[in-house]
Amino acid sequence: MELVFIPSPGDGHLRPLVEVAKLLIDRNDHVSVTIIIIPPMQETSSGNSSSCIASLSTSSQHRLRYNVLDKPKSNGDDPKPNFLSYIESFRPQIKATVEKRTDPAQAIAGLVVDMFCMVMIDLAKELNVPSYMFFTCNATLLGLHVRVQYLYDVEKLDVSDLKDSETTTELEVPTFTRPLPLNCFSSAMLSKEWLPIIVEDTRRFQETKGILVNTFAELEPQAIKFFSGRDHPLPPVYPVGPAMNPNTNSSGSDDKQSEILRWLDEQPSKSVVFLCFGSMGGFSEEQVKEIAVALERTGYRFLWSLRRAAAKGTMGPPGEFTNLEEILPEGFLDRTTEIGKIIAWAPQTAVLANPAIGGFVSHCGWNSILESLWFGVPMATWPLYAEQQVNAFQMVEELGLAVEIRNSFRGDYMTAESGLMTAEEIERGIRCVMEQDSVVRAKVQEMSQKSQVALMKGGSSHNALLKFIQDVTKNIS
């Protein structure tokens, strides 16, 4: 039987779905997967998406195939499509690709669509096959989506109306054990433009036959307990993560990666703080100076992935600073030359796997959180946009698996700069995350072991994936 996977564009969505596909074919000899790859609307400065897609498209195997789509030619009616219309423009191409599969004798057991590709549910109906959703984020956020949709549809409460509330508003969310402060909500949920889209997509979750979530039961017990009961409107939820590739060979430049890892190999164990803020994380010159001051004050060794924020009002990827001496405090590079290294692109998985890394200052993207936990590296949370505030609150307040730099501000949707973080705040966060005998570090080490056991035979995610396979098999019996 065959499953067709449709990830949304971008490394953060493509890579975990590829890892789920690999787990599926490893678990069952009768499953094959075709992954249909939508090219990104725009490349990040690192070009990682292109290199990732190129490597995948040449590595198809007997039961795991990749099909890279071509960008549709613009008809002139929509010269600057938004992300959702861009996804929808691939529907005819995806339909044709599914209908021209290389092995039509294989029965299609279902379409597995990314959380941002809900329009493809209609294509599944057109093809008369069931659809499943892959929720790239965590189960706790999935519960927040369900709660916000219920408030919107049943209680007629639009949470975006609370954005400018003068009081500190908190809402009960069933996947949290404590109320979630409004200022930690997903920034898109507080947007008049995006909230109706989120609500509509959440309604559509109910049209799928099941939801795969990139998490594991031991990490999110409250959320898994909620979705194991009957007090929610969704189909079965399968926690099948962490869906990540712990292989430290990155798709980036071999020379750059080798230089970075050689430097790390020369540093003492757990002595380096790693600062990295994802594919969209860039900063203003003013903020860069505050980070530099904090790093120098702490005296810790550091590896700093530094990029320049996109121009205000644009959604483009971050760029690179052309002259670091102009933007850093005078003499900073000379004074820290023995203990620090500033880079642009970072081979994040390989860095986190290195024994020299003692702490991770992160934007709290979910993939980064899972990688940090897998390698047992404690995090200092610096959320920038989208759902990252929710993730940071969960890691710090709900689970005690991270320390906080600051989480009491919010950026606009997909805006990676949302208020100046002071050197004092950054310094305090770095000192906390680098503390060697902290409770947080011990809890992260324990969760690291649990994350790896979850994927082993008999583990929680291994069993959840087997249940998913059982359900899929019924579709063709």
Residue with tokens 């979530």: 213
Q: 398 — phi, psi (to 5°)?
A: -80, -45
| Cα→Cα distances 13→39, 49, 135, 211, 240, Å | 12, 11, 9, 15, 15
What's the length of the chain? 477
Residue 374 to residue 272: CA distance in whole angstroms: 18
Predicted pLDDT of residue 73: 74
Predicted pLDDT of residue 134: 98
290 in the Ramachandran plot: left (φ > 0), alpha (ψ -120 to 50) or beta? alpha
**Terminal alpha carbon distance of the chain:** 10
Predicted pLDDT of residue 414: 42
Residue 241 to residue 214: CA distance in whole angstroms: 4
Neighbours of 207 (CB within 10 A): 15
Predicted pLDDT of residue 313: 61
Predicted pLDDT of residue 46: 47
> How open is the CA angle 39-366-407, to the nearest 5 degrees?
125
Predicted pLDDT of residue 163: 81
Residue with tokens 């099909």: 67
| Cα→Cα distances 304→80, 105, 360, 414, Å | 34, 51, 10, 22
Task: Tell me which H or E stretch contains 57.
Answer: helix 48-57
- Over residues 72-130, the pLDDT tens digits come to 776 555 555 688 899 999 999 999 999 887 566 678 999 999 999 999 999 999 999 99
Residue 440 near residue 378, CB atoms below 8 Å: yes
Which residues of the chain register pLDDT less than 50? 45-47, 250-252, 409, 411-417
Predicted pLDDT of residue 412: 47
Residue 35 to residue 39: CA distance in whole angstroms: 12
Say if 2-136+206-241+457-474 and 254-450 have the same CATH topology.
yes
Domain ranges for the chain, please list them. Answer: 2-136+206-241+457-474, 254-450
Neighbours of 24 (CB within 10 A): 23
Residue with tokens 């209908």: 99
Residue 451 to residue 109: CA distance in whole angstroms: 29
**What CATH topology corresponds to 254-450?**
Rossmann fold (3.40.50)
> May I ask the CATH class of domain 2-136+206-241+457-474?
alpha beta
Burial of 60: CB neighbours in 10 Å, binned 0-12, 13-18, 19+ = middle
Predicted pLDDT of residue 282: 87
Q: How many CA atoms lie within 13 A of 93 on its CB side?
A: 17
Predicted pLDDT of residue 266: 97
Task: Tell me which H or E stretch contains 171.
Answer: strand 170-171
